[in-house]
Amino acid sequence: MGKVITLFKLLPKLHQILLCILVFVTLIIILMPSDDVQASKQTVSSNGEYGLNTRYEVPLAFRTPTPPSGSEAISIENAESRKQPLVQPSTHRKAHTATTNPVVEQANIAPVLNEKHFQVKSGDTLAALFSRAGLTAKDVYDVTQLPKAKKNLLKIMPGDALVIAKNDGGQLVQLRYHIDKISTLVVNRVDNGYKESITTKTVETRNKFANATIKSNFWNAGVVAGLTPNQIMQLATIFGWDIDFALDLRKDDHFAILFEEEYADGEFLRNGNILAAEFTNQGDSYTAVRYKDGSYYSAEGRSMRKAFLRSPVDFKYVSSSFNPRRLHPVTGQVKAHRGVDYVAKVGTPIKAAGKGRVIKSSYNQYNGNYVFIRHNDTYTTKYLHLKKRKVKKGASVKQGQIIGTLGSTGRVTGAHLHYEFIVNGVHRNPRTVKLPKSEAIASKEKAPFAIVSKKLMTELEHNKLVQIASH
């Protein structure tokens, strides 16, 4: 300190005076309190900590800016148009906003619901399920007073799913029951009870292509192509008037089909109808197109449904074919076999090959139970060795109608159906006889059908080419 004083005395008189003034002014600036310091001191408690439940101003750098609203937005727009500086909202206005915003936010918050999923178990009733959900018998009664709820909820089955939502007070607020993959029953609480509705998903239909070549059998080829058992049977039914699927199929026969798939909200629901198909059997090609009447026609417009079924029973194999000089298996004598013997399980349904009238339905020691049907002046069919007859003499029958079941009655060595096909009084081989041509589509439908047929067959052919190119 002594050295500082000595240096000060060595300075010129004028410099000493200026240095003293500078030190004096500096001390005044340091010691004088400012308004900002006082304001900050008012926001902190005596012990230096922030108080609880007290609103403090936060620096703008730590706040997320929000767009202005109401009159503030208008003020901003007006200021921009006049190129004037913006006027910040007053402190009073900020305080008012702070006290009202929490109330608005609370009003917009939806009540919290306690939602649980339930799966119906074996032996469950709606009452038991509601009990597991913590609901009362009165809830069951109130809900089942609604007609749609009563119809569906009282018939719940194991595996069915329900969603039950309750509020904080434990009251049932909403129930959702999936009737199927498309429809959902929704029951909502309202002021005076409950209200029900059924919501339905929008179903989208897409076309899908499949094809296969027969290597071992038709069924396996269908499975390899990704077809369901129902689709395989449907395909066989469509071409069943032209192709005997038990006897006519050969290795390397092939088919291609275009069918519908149904989706709801992007989720696969089920397969739809076969729209178009082509089947090549032993070098001969057959086509089928589905029309709006639900029937199938060839690409040229002739009905796939012929006047007669090629075989009247779903059989395993043929035990004896049409043979005018066959040796009888029982007597050993040469006797013409004027029909075809189809072997199948006892009780297999026998179908009328075509529409007509039953001219005989009886029993004798040779034929066993038998049925004869006259279709018109030209055609008659006979069905022998039935286990049971399901039609009586004089009855009118439709094509495909069940007229009896396969059995082993009469003079036979095993269970089978003996089937005869007679044309103008002469027996013909049922498997090779040329059947009457099918009817053409109605004249007024020819033009619209031609458009549908061309579109579907073009799409089918395009998919075939794409499939070939990909391999």
Q: What is the helix (H) or strand (E) element at residue 293, kind and residue range? A: none
Reference 194, options 143, 152, 246, 129; nearest CA is 143
Tokens of 307: 């006047």
Residue 183: closest CA among 196, 173, 194: 196
Q: What are the backbone dihedrals phi and psi of residue 3, each rounded to the nearest 5 degrees, phi first?
A: -65, -40
Q: Distance between CA 251 and CA 231 in Å, rounded?
A: 21
Residue 386: phi and psi, rounded to 5, are: -70, 150
Any idea which fold 204-306+440-471 has?
Nuclear Transport Factor 2; Chain: A, (3.10.450)
d(Cα 412, Cα 366) in Å, to the nearest integer? 8
Please give the pLDDT value at position 103: 45
Contact 212, 255 (CB under 8 A): yes
Sign of CA dihedral 303, 308, 314, 320: negative
User: What pLDDT shows up at residue 104?
Assistant: 44
CATH number attached to the domain at 114-200: 3.10.450.350
Q: Which of 188, 287, 203 is nearest to 239 (CA)?
A: 287
At 22, list the tokens. 């500078």
Whole-model pTM? 0.58
Q: Domains of the chain: which residue ranges?
A: 114-200, 204-306+440-471, 317-428
DSSP-assigned letters across all residues of 217-267: -HHHHHHHTT--HHHHHHHHHHTTTT--TTTT--TT-EEEEEEEEEEETTE
Distance between the two ends of the chain, CA-based, in angstroms? 103
Q: Show the tokens assigned to 342.
A: 């189809």
Handedness of CA 206, 212, 216, 218 (dihedral sign): positive
C-alpha to C-alpha distance for 357 and 296, rounded to whole angstroms: 26
pLDDT (tens digit, 0 to 9) for every residue of the chain, 471 residues total?
Answer: 566 666 666 667 777 777 778 777 777 777 665 544 444 434 444 444 444 444 544 443 333 334 444 444 334 344 444 444 433 444 444 344 444 454 444 445 555 568 889 989 898 889 988 998 899 899 999 999 999 999 999 989 999 989 999 988 888 999 999 998 889 999 999 987 899 999 999 889 999 999 999 999 999 999 999 999 999 999 998 998 888 887 789 999 999 999 999 999 888 989 999 999 999 999 999 999 999 999 999 999 999 988 898 889 888 788 888 776 666 665 666 677 889 999 999 999 999 999 999 999 999 999 999 999 999 999 999 999 999 999 999 999 999 999 999 999 999 989 999 999 999 999 999 888 888 888 899 999 999 999 999 999 999 999 999 988 887
Question: Which of 198, 197, 194 minimizes the C-alpha distance to 180?
Answer: 198
Residues 459 and 21: their CA atoms lie apart, in Å, by: 103
Nearest to 146 by CA among 195, 200, 199, 198: 195
Q: What angle do CA 16, 17, 18 make, to 5 degrees?
A: 95
Q: Coil, helix or strand for 286?
A: strand
Cα–Cα distances (Å) from 138 to 3, 23, 188, 366, in that order, read: 101, 91, 16, 71
Domains 114-200 and 204-306+440-471 share a fold: yes
Q: 346 near 415, Cβ under 8 Å?
A: yes
Query: The domain 317-428 is classified under which CATH number: 2.70.70.10, 2.30.30.790, 1.20.58.340, 3.30.365.10?
Result: 2.70.70.10
